[in-house]
Amino acid sequence: MSISQQTATPEPALTVGAKPRDNTGPDALPARQPRRKWWHRISVNCWRLIALAVFLIAWHLISIPAGKLLLPSPLAVFPAFLDLLRSGQLIGATAGSLVVFSGGYLLAVLVGIPAGVLMGGFRRVGETFDIYVNGLNSTPRVAFVPLIVLWFGLDIGAKIVIVWVTAVFPIIINTYAGVLNTDKDLIEAARSFGANQRQIFRYIMLPSAIPYIVAGLRIGASLAIIGTVVAELYTALSGLGHMLDQFGNSFQTAKYFVPLLVLIGIGTAISQSLKALERRLARWKTSSIEI
């Protein structure tokens, strides 16, 4: 069983201890029951809520001298949230942003993983393209926006292309790296058992790349959220990006915080679910520290 269940480290499982510790060996120390301090007995989720509460209180206190134009109190943001929710504007904008995000992100996954696998599977393909993929990955994606607008217009198609172009490269690069980083010893072991090249690829290289691929999906997802807002601000205004623009420019600061907080919520939800996916797919990995 993982070490994390024996120690006081609560979730998220900070799985330290790559080697299974053998406590039965002759030189094992006698099991020591540490005196648990009171702050160890509070779960991490509880600490998170405490941190959030401290933050909200600090926000409120700072907002008093700052005034509601520069920094409205969270107590003012909440009614604004309810207003926008009731009017339907928030739901419509969130739905619009999610369509752009998921369209572009899914396309990036559908293109990125096979492209990375192809580059990893065929050495020449990988060696040929990795310089270009890395080059494009280091280029600020906003630089492509005017070109995309020129080619695809201002509507949803163009937005999806913008999201796609922000998310696809890290997915390709991670998948490629994952396939390349397959343990050579495992490949040789499979060969010694008579596995052919195709089987080695299918049963050794692909499974060992999965943790890398999921990490790539996480990086891609956070970039895709950035891409979504960029797309909504730089093409026809729409979605949460439009709300940011609208309330930012008209100094309705309390309302401005609403789409911002929704974006933070979406980002958190997506990265947490990808983390869960990672835990599921890579439960055989013991040595990773989750971040």
**What does the binding site for other proteins look like in residue numbers (CB under 8 A)?**
1, 18, 20, 22, 25, 185-186, 188-196, 199, 203-204, 207-208, 210, 282-286
249 or 287: CB nearest other proteins: 287
* CB closer to other proteins out of 203 and 251: 203
Q: Side chain identity at 135, as an amino acid letter?
A: G
Nearer to other proteins, 17 or 92 (CB): 17
Residue among 43 and 199 whose Cβ is closer to other proteins: 199
Rank residues 76 and 210 by Cβ distance to other proteins and give the closer one: 210
**Closest CB 208 distance from other proteins, rounded Å:** 7
**Residue type (1 letter), 66:** A
**Sign (positive/negative) of CA torsion 225, 226, 228, 232?**
positive
By 3-state DSSP, what share of the chain in percent is helix, strand and coil, each rounded to 5? 75, 0, 25
- The answer to whether 253 and 72 are in contact (CB under 8 A) is yes
> Closest by alpha carbon to 143, among 171, 164, 167, 165?
165
Q: What are the Cα distances from residue 189, in Å, to 176, 185, 186, 196, 209?
A: 22, 6, 5, 12, 17
Residue 89 beta carbon to other proteins: minimum distance, rounded to whole angstroms: 47
In the bound state with other proteins, the residue whose beta carbon lies nearer, of 22 and 140, is 22
How many other CB atoms sit within 10 Å of the CB of residue 282?
Answer: 17
Instruction: Give the shortest CB-19-to-other proteins separation in angstroms.
Output: 8
Q: Which of 23, 250 has the CB closer to other proteins?
A: 23
Query: DSSP per residue over 124-140, as a string?
Result: HHHHHHHHHHHHHHHS-
CB of 173 to other proteins, least distance (A): 22
Q: What is the nearest approach in angstroms of other proteins to the Cβ of residue 207?
A: 5
Q: CA-CA distance, 54 to 199, in Å (whole number)?
A: 55
CB of 23 to other proteins, least distance (A): 11
Number of H helices, E strands in the chain: 11, 0
d(C-alpha 214, C-alpha 209), whole Å: 9
Give the DSSP letter of residue 28: P
| Smallest separation, CB 185 to other proteins (Å) | 5
Cβ-count burial of 168 within 10 angstroms (0-12 exposed, 13-18 middle, 19+ buried)?
buried
The C-alpha atoms of residue 190 and residue 196 are separated, in whole angstroms, by 8
Number of C-beta neighbours around residue 178 at 10 A: 25
Q: Please state the closest distance from residue 199 (CB atom) to other proteins, in A.
A: 6
